[in-house]
Amino acid sequence: MRRVATASFVGTVIEFYDFGIYGTAAALVFPQIFFPALGQAEGTIASFATYGVAFVARPFGSILFGHFGDRLGRKKSLIATMLLMGVATILVGCMPTATQIGVAAPIMIVMLRVLQGLAAGGEFAGAVLFSSEHAPQGKRGFWSSFANLGGGAAIILANGTFFLTAVFMSDSTFTSWGWRIPFLSSFLLVIFGLWVRLRMDETPVFKKQAAQAGTSRMPFVEAFTNQPKQVLLAAGTVMVGFALTYIGGTYLVSYGTVVLELPRTFVLGMAMVGGVSISAGVVLGAILSDRIGRRWVIVGAASVAVVWALALFPILDIGSRTVFAIGLPVTMFISGVATGPQGAFLSELFHTRYRYTAAGLSYSLAGMLGGGVPPLIAASVIDSFGGFAFGCILAGVCLVSLTCVLTVGETRDLELDRDTAQTTA
C-alpha cells in the first residue's frame, strides 16, 4: 500500500501542480500580459474566466478518460492524462503575449486551458481508484486520501515556485519572462511522473471485474442508467471542498495582492502555508472518516464552512497581515477536512463497471460549479456589492453540499466489488 499510495500521490502532485500554477499566474500576471487593454479589475475577471474554462472542460475529460479507464484499466488512462497535461502546460510557458500577437494570445491560452481541463477531469478519479481499489476496507479513507494530499502538495509547490521567482526577480522581470519558469519546469516533473506510473500494476478490483464479468461497453450510459441520483448528489457533496480550495488557494492570492495591497511574497508565502493546512485537514478528515464514516465528517466540515464563508471577507477587509495569515490557512484547513473522505466516498458509491466514469464525472461537475464559478464571479461581485455579498454566495454553495451529503447514505461499509444492485442513497 505504501508503494501504491506513493504512486498515486506523486502522480497527482505533478498533474495538479501543472493545473494549479495556471491559477497562480492568472491571479498575479495574466491580466497584464494577456489582457492589458482591459484594466486591472476587468483584466482579472477575464483572466479568471480563462482559468474557469478548464472547469467546464473537466466533465468532458471525465467522460473521455473514464470511458477508457473503465474499459481498458486505470493505469492506461492515468498515463494518458499525464501526457496531455504536461504538453499543454509546457506550451502555456511558451506562449507569446498579447503585446506580441494581439488577440490570438488569449484565444490560444483558452485552447491550452481546455486541454488542461480535459486532463484534470480524467486524473483525480483514476488516482483515487488506484489507491482505493488496492486498500483494505477499514483503512480505505486513509489510503484513498493520498491523491488529495498530492493536491495539497501541488499547492505548496506551485506557490513556492512563484515565490522563488518573486524573491529573486524584480516585478518587471517576473512579468516579462519569469512567470514562464514554473510552466517550463513542468517538463522534468512530467518525465518523473511517467516513470512512476509506467511501473504501476493494474488494480485487483478492476482485474477481477474484467475477468469475471467483463468491462462495460458504455460506462457513461450505465452510470446514468443505474445511479443517476448518486452522480448528482455526489457532485453536490464534493462542491464544498472545491469552493473553499479555489477561493483560498487561487482567488485570495489575487485579493491579497490587488485589493488588500499586501506584498506578493507575503501572499505567496501564506498560500504555501495554506497548502500545508489543506494537507493537514485532508489527513484528519480521512482518518476520522474511517472511524465515524464519510458522511458525518463532510457534514461537520460543510456546517463549519457555511459560517466561515459569511465571516471570511469581513475579517480579511481589516487588511492586516495577521488577519490574512489566519484567513487563508483556516479556509484551506476546512476545505481539507471536507476533502479528506472524498476519495473513499466516491469510490464506494459507484459500481466497478463504471466507477471511473461516474466518480470522475461527479468530481468534475463539482469542480465546474464549486471551483470554477466562485473565483470567476468573485472580483465582480466584491467590486459591486462588497465582500459579505460574495460570502453569502460562497455560503450558499457550502449549504448545497451540506444538503446533498445529508441525503446520501453512508458508504464506509460497502464492498468495492459488490453487485451492481447494491447501491446507496
**Are 305 and 397 spatial neighbours (Cβ–Cβ below 8 Å)?**
no
Q: Up-side HSE of residue 163: CA atoms within 13 Å toward CB?
A: 16
Mean pLDDT (the chain, rounded): 87
83 Cβ neighbours under 8 A, 6+ residues apart: 190, 194
pLDDT for 368-408, tens place per residue?
A: 888 878 887 888 898 889 889 999 999 999 999 999 999 98
The predicted pLDDT at position 418 comes to 63
User: Which pLDDT tens digit goes with each residue over 50-105?
Assistant: 877 888 888 999 999 999 989 888 888 988 988 898 898 899 899 998 888 988 88
Contacts of 127 (CB under 8 A, 6+ apart): 8, 11, 12, 15, 78, 147, 150
pLDDT at 303: 97
pLDDT in tens, 206-241: 888 888 877 888 999 999 899 999 999 999 999 999
Read off the pLDDT of each residue in 105-118 and give the average, rounded to a whole number.
88
Band the pLDDT of 362: cuts 50, 70, 90.
Answer: very high
- At residue 232, the pLDDT reads 95
pLDDT, mean of residues 260-266:
89
HSE at residue 394, side-chain half, CA atoms within 13 A, is 34
* pLDDT greater than 60 at residue 297: yes
Residue 408: CB partners within 8 Å, gap ≥ 6?
A: 230, 233, 234, 237, 295, 349, 424, 425
Q: Is the dihedral of CA 106, 111, 117, 123 positive or negative?
A: negative
Tens digits of residue pLDDT in 145-160: 998 898 888 888 888 8
HSE value, Cβ hemisphere, 13 Å, CA-based, for 380: 12
Position 245 pLDDT exceeds 50: yes
On whether the CB atoms of residues 126 and 365 are closer than 8 A, the answer is no
With vertex at residue 40, the alpha carbon angle to CA 34 and CA 46, rounded to the nearest 5 degrees, is: 50
Contacts of 86 (CB under 8 A, 6+ apart): 14, 18, 186, 187, 189, 190, 193
Where residue 338 falls among pLDDT bands split at 50, 70, 90?
very high
Q: Is the dihedral of CA 277, 240, 348, 151 positive or negative?
A: negative
Span 234-255, mean pLDDT? 90
Q: The C-alpha cell of 31 is what?
A: 491580466
For 4, residues 6+ apart whose C-beta sits below 8 A from its C-beta are: 130, 131, 134, 135, 143, 200
Read off the DSSP letter of residue 217.
S
* Entry pTM: 0.84
Question: Residue 425: pLDDT band by 50, 70, 90 thresholds?
Answer: very low
pLDDT score for 309:
95
pLDDT of residue 400: 96
Give the span between the Cα atoms of 330 and 326, in whole angstroms.
6
**Is the per-residue pLDDT at 336 higher than 90?**
yes
Residue 164 has pLDDT above 60, yes or no: yes
